[in-house]
Amino acid sequence: MKPGALLGRVEGGFFLLALAVATLLPLLDAVGRPLGGLHVPGSAEWVRQATLFMAFLGALLAARATQHLTLSTAELLGTGRARRMAGLFSNSVAASVTAVLARASLDLVGVSRQEGKLLPGGVPEWILTLVMPLGLALLALHFAWAASESFAGRFVALATVAAAFGLGLVPQLAANVVVPLALVILLAALLGAPVFVAMGGIALLLFFRDGTPVSAVPAEIYRLVASPTLPAIPLLTAAGYVLAEGKASVRLVRFFRALFGWMPGGLAVMVTAVCALFTTFTGGSGVTIIALGGLVYPILRDDGYPEGFSLGLVTAAGSLGLLFPPSLPVILYSVVAQVPADALYLAGLVPGALLVALTAAWGIRQGKTLARAGAPLSQFSLREVSRAGWAAKWELLLPVLVVVLFASGMTSMVEAAAAACAYAVVVSCFVQRDIPFGRPLARVLLKAGALMGAVLLLLSVAMGLTSWLVDAQVPAHLLDVVRRNIHSPVVFLIVLNGVLLVLGSVLEIYSAIVILAPLVAPMGAAFGIDPVHLGVVFLANLELGFLFPPVGLNLLLASSRFGKPLTALYRHVLPFLLIRGVGVLLITYVTALSLALPKLLGIAP
């Protein structure tokens, strides 16, 4: 076995072990609580360490699968020499930044060793903290190796790493080139370097310029892992991927087709509903279009729907469902903006349903046109609805499980997420038997691990940059600028709608949340906007950004999945973009849509 393959197996094995720990310990606590408070001593601390391992081992899995989150602008380069040169440049910068982060993390390990803290069971904490510098060092080597197919190109990448360390030995020179180096890092991000590299690199430069030890960045990474809600992110990601890799999509399509197929536009309503539900599992990562597109598009075409409408509907419906539990972006926004996740989920139910209803209504309109032209309608069969619903009952129950466990107070968010993860595995492996338990399941979980690592590393590194921004009072200065130029909450929300729409089309959704939420949340508070309502508005705008030209994520995925030019998709998606835009405006300015339900249940003030 080649060394690289062996190393990959070791990384994957430790990742699966960490995921098992993060799933089983919260479950044991949740089950033991009604039985007289039985629990595993120190389970919360071990879950925290398991999350740290998942972040850095998952980041290595993401690097191997080329799944680190990048800006959509990199796709505009096409192929050829320009793309190869861009890859050499962006990967060299990525290797340099990651190597410096690894060195800074080593300082953090040294501090942890001096403190001598012991984890439950007597294990020194600093030993487990070593996963940070080791993981980042391996990431740096990966980026250097991926910089080029030739050894000469890889040597250039390694020379760039050496130059970065050499620059750190000459503080006077380095302090004078902070701005040029920041521009280099931003250019690398535009040309394909992961977003975490841009955020981490700029944070390192800013701390270095101010004379603050650059270990402040990995220190923020380690501090973030202590967030009580953070482990829910990898657990819900795993649950979504397990369901997506099985035959859940087929069962859901059958159920919603039986439920709506009899009415004019019923198949369009079916596509809207099944895509929305599927996106709640997969978190808007683009899996919906990839997994469901090839299944529902032919159904629409066979039923007589025009090609343009069918393409537009599948592309638009692929971003619905981000506001429904157990959607991952809601959890991520909750962590970043410090807004209760339960209130966000409740607040998103009615706005999310509104966006689904508006999309479905346009489908019904198209279906009525087909009906007038003589297209046949299927007969409603209560027996088929019952049979299809029974077949899909396990998938339909997952969002209900999360909501009931968490909203009832029976479990914490992490315990509910652990229950969802275990539920998805049990259902897929032992009830539906879509995925054999063993290596096939491990492959699915490792695929999910790549997304987990990409999101967690991005979020962690972003906290380092956020820490500098807070120390430099940047949000306060930005708020002063906004207050001087904008005096009305309505105008502020209009500007916010436009900014989020544009940035949501360029930034991947997890990147957008991490980058923008810390800046937007204090501005909303200054204008007296309820933080829960602001969160719903924020996520609804990003959901719309998936469809916004020129490079919205769903446009790129649909173009690739169906082999259609982007310019054609712009035309087909436009009606859905306008309709959903009206929905986002209603969500923004009719606050009762998001706040009435939480207030009714006593969760929002």
Task: Summarize pLDDT for 451-483 with one digit per residue, the tens.
Answer: 788 878 877 777 777 777 767 776 667 667 777
- The helix-helix angle for 341-372 and 531-545 (nearest 10°) equals 40
pLDDT single digits (tens) 165-197: 887 776 666 667 788 888 998 888 888 888 788
Please state the rounded mean pLDDT for residues 507-519. Answer: 77
Bridge partner list, 242: none
pLDDT of residue 535: 93
Percent of residues, the chain, with pLDDT higher than 70: 88
At 119, which helix (H) or strand (E)? strand 118-119
Is pLDDT of 310 > 70?
yes
Where residue 122 falls (left for φ over 0; alpha for ψ -120 to 50; beta otherwise) is: left
Please state the rounded mean pLDDT for residues 293-301. Answer: 76
Q: What is the pTM of this model?
A: 0.76
pLDDT of residue 562: 75
pLDDT of residue 376: 63
pLDDT: which is higher, 544 or 289? 544
Bridge partner list, 124: 118
- Which residue type sits at 285? S
Please state the rounded mean pLDDT for residues 405-422. Answer: 82
pLDDT single digits (tens) 70-106: 765 555 556 667 778 888 898 999 999 999 999 888 8
Rounded to 5 degrees, φ, ψ at 118 are -110, 135
Q: How far apart are CA 369 and CA 363, in angstroms?
A: 10
Selection from 414, 464, 69, 424 nearest residue 242 by Cα: 424
Q: How far apart are CA 295 and CA 314, in angstroms?
A: 10
Q: How far apart are CA 44 and CA 570, in angstroms?
A: 48
pLDDT of residue 4: 66
Please state the rounded mean pLDDT for residues 218-246. Answer: 78
pLDDT: which is higher, 480 or 492? 492
Render 379-446 in DSSP notation, one character per residue: PP-HHHHHHHHHHTHHHHHHHHHHHHHHHTTSS-HHHHHHHHHHHHHHIIIIIS--S-TTHHHHHHHH
62-91 in b/e burial notation, b at 16+ Cβ within 10 A? bbbeebbbbbbebeebeeeeeebebbbbbb
Selection from 579, 568, 572, 578 nearest residue 308 by Cα: 572
The SS3 assignment for 506 reads helix
Kindly report each contact of residues 149-153 with a partner whose C-beta sits within 8 Å and lies 24 or more positions away, as own/partner. 153/88
Is pLDDT of 370 > 60?
yes
Rounded to 5 degrees, φ, ψ at 119 are -80, 160
Longest Cα–Cα distance in the chain? 79
Q: How far apart are CA 337 and CA 297, in angstroms?
A: 37
pLDDT category, 249, cuts 50, 70, 90? confident
Percent of residues, the chain, with pLDDT higher than 90: 15
pLDDT category, 244, cuts 50, 70, 90? confident
- Cβ neighbour number for residue 591 with a 10 Å cutoff: 17
What's the chain's average pLDDT?
82
pLDDT category, 508, cuts 50, 70, 90? low
pLDDT category, 134, cuts 50, 70, 90? very high
User: Both tokens of residue 245?
Assistant: 């890799």
Return the half-sphere exposure (C-beta side, CA atoms, 13 A cut-off) of residue 468: 24
Q: How far apart are CA 78 and CA 192, in angstroms?
A: 12
pLDDT of residue 464: 74
Q: How far is CA 393 from the centre of its chain?
A: 26
pLDDT of residue 604: 59
Least reliable range by pLDDT among 2-16, 490-504, 547-561: 547-561
Is pLDDT of 124 > 80?
yes
Q: Which residue has the tokens 């009931």?
A: 404
Tell me how long the chain is. 605
User: Both tokens of residue 89?
Assistant: 């440049």
Please state the rounded mean pLDDT for residues 282-301. Answer: 70
Highest mean pLDDT among 5-19, 288-302, 348-362: 348-362
- Cβ neighbour number for residue 181 with a 10 Å cutoff: 20
pLDDT single digits (tens) 532-567: 999 999 999 888 887 888 667 677 667 766 777 767
